[in-house]
Structure 1
Amino acid sequence: MTTTHGLRPTPWPRRVAAGGVTLLLAAAAAGCSGRGAAEGPHPAQPQARVLAAGPPAPRPVTTTAAPRPPAFAPVVTDRIPTPSVTLPLSAVVPGTTNMQPAAADAFARAFAAARAAGLDPQIRSAWRSAAFQQVLFDRAVARYGSVQAASNWVLPPSRSAHVKGYAVDVHPQAVAAWLEVHGAAFGICRTYANEWWHFEYLATSTCPPRLPTAAG
């Protein structure tokens, strides 16, 4: 049996494995080189589009609101107020005593403005009790001959704005003429065409058309 001393032979499977690794690395390098050449350089990244600025947004248009009509305190036209002061039925009640507060305040302010304009406003008759109004109406019926004719000048208590506390008979006529022009600013209107002295608080800045007479 022949033996060899000093040399140890390398087993063949290990040599084949080493050679296989070398071949695999070479093939991988060749493959990477081929793929890079086929694809070429990397494409440039798309740049963000810059939108051109449009025209500036229009500013909101500010408009001046139309002036609102003055707010008036309401007047009660469907009931007779309870008198706050007891006076003789035949007496002329002074000033705005016993009138509805809103009406009394409106006439007081209107008369103050008339005085500032150089006038001397006077109240000939304002609030009347129902009993006193009935006396006046009965006299008018006797004078004019009928209820219908009397109603052109004096109304029964249930229909009288004096009894309900929002009417004033003014004097002199210059004051009445001033109220016809300026009274609506205070909610005051002349209501009858045949009575230049008779004004009522109607709580409106637009006076309605005048009635021919108190009877309508």
Structure 2
Amino acid sequence: MTGGGLFLTFEGIDGSGKSTQARRLAEFLRTQGREVVLTREPGGSPGAEEIRRLVLEGDPDRWSAETEILLFTAARRDHLERTIQPALDAGKIVICDRFADSTRMYQGLSRGDLRGLVDQLHELMIKREPDLTLLIDMDPETGLSRAKGRQGSEERFEDFGPDLQRRMREGFLGLAKEFPERFRVINGNRDMDSVAADVTDVVMQALR
């Protein structure tokens, strides 16, 4: 931990329910009297939210994978400086919907073999991993159907189609094996209450 706080992240394919689970966890921890900052990526700070609009809206081929990596890293650096690190230094729990693992997957794996570049930039500019990462594992077809059903403007990555979702799921599970000390895989193919119960159990164990 840094500064007495705890840095938690949620990861998973689009439509896995991670955003809902992050929000529910934050609400639960606040009822326990804990100070919680709920944030997201890309975004989480004014500058990073501006970059979010650039990368999540528009044509799927709007940016090259290399350009995306630079944009996401810039957004993450601003987010870390202005939101995450100050909260951790104040001893708060930070819950973030996506972090560097998503960039390792979506840009580093899906659009060319650029994982090494993602990790190099991360080491150079971010130098921070979560204390605990909760991977909500979801059937790719179900997840994509849920994601497309939202009918929002931020569907650029969903528009890459089901093949990307399948590769992302495999990639996230691979990351869980690569970093077993911080990853916990939770079955997202269940009702929200059952998933939330497992999330709460894992987090409360980490807080003991």
* TM bucket normalised to smaller: under 0.3
Which structure has more relative contact order (CA 8 Å, sep 6+)? It is: 2
Larger Rg: 1 or 2?
1
Q: TM-score, normalised by structure 1?
A: 0.26
**Higher strand residue share:** 2
Q: Which has the higher helix share?
A: 2
What TM-score, normalized by structure 2, do the two folds share?
0.27
